[in-house]
Amino acid sequence: MQSVVQAFNDNWDVVASAPYAVLVLALVIAVTMWTFVSFLKAHEISTLETRLKLRDDEIAELKRTKHEAGASVSARTEDAQQARRRAIVNDGRRLMAAFNSQTLHKFLIEYLATKEEWHAIRPHLDPEVLQNLENGRLLVLTSGTEKDGKIHALLRDFDRLEREWGLI
C-alpha cells in the first residue's frame, strides 16, 4: 500500500494533467480483476457442486443398500423370533405331556420349577392364570382330576400365546 501512495506522490503531475485517463485505467483494471476473480469463484463453485452431487449419489446408494440389508435382517430377525416363540410353546406342551404321564410329582408347580423350559415360557403366560397356579387357588372343572384341570388351564394359555404370536 505504501508503494501505491508513493507512486501517486511521485507522478502527481501526470495524474493531475489527465485525471479521466487515470480513472478509466483504474476502472479497466478493476473490471478486469473482478471478471477474473468471478471466473475463478464460479469455477470453484461448479467444482464444489459437482462434488456435492457425487456425495449425494453415494449417500442415496448407501441408504438404499442399508434399507435393503435392514429389510433382510429384519425379516431374518422376525423369522428367528417366530421360531423361538414356536419352540417355547412346543416345550411348554411337552412339559404338560410329561407331567400328565408322571405320577411322582403331586404338584404341577413343583414339577415345573425344576424344568428349564418352564422358566422360558413363564414370563409370557397370563399373570392371573400363573398366580392362581402358583397359589394353588385354581379351580377348573373337568372330567378328570385337579391335576388335569391345571394342565388344561396352562394348555389354554399356550393356545392364547399361539394366537397372539401368530403361530397358528
What are the tens digits of pLDDT across the range 57-90?
A: 899 988 888 877 766 767 778 888 888 889 989 9
The Cα 53–Cα 105 span in angstroms is 73
Whether residue 135 is predicted with pLDDT greater than 70 in this model: the reply is: yes
State the pLDDT at residue 143.
53
Tell me what the pLDDT averaged over the chain comes to. Answer: 82
In the chain, where the domains are located: 2-164
Taking the model in full, what pTM does it have? 0.50
State the pLDDT at residue 27.
94
State the pLDDT at residue 119.
86
pLDDT tens-digit map of 87-109: 989 988 888 888 766 655 567 77
State CA 3 to chain mean position distance. Answer: 65
State the pLDDT at residue 147.
55
Q: How far is CA 75 from CA 11, 70, 164, in A?
A: 84, 8, 19
116 pLDDT band (50/70/90 cuts)? confident
**Burial 52-81, CB ≥16 within 10 A → b, else e:** eeeeeeeeeeeeeeeeeeeeeeeeeeeeee
148 pLDDT band (50/70/90 cuts)? low
DSSP code of residue 136: T
User: Could you tell me where the DSSP H helices lie in 102-145?
Assistant: 108-113, 116-121, 127-135
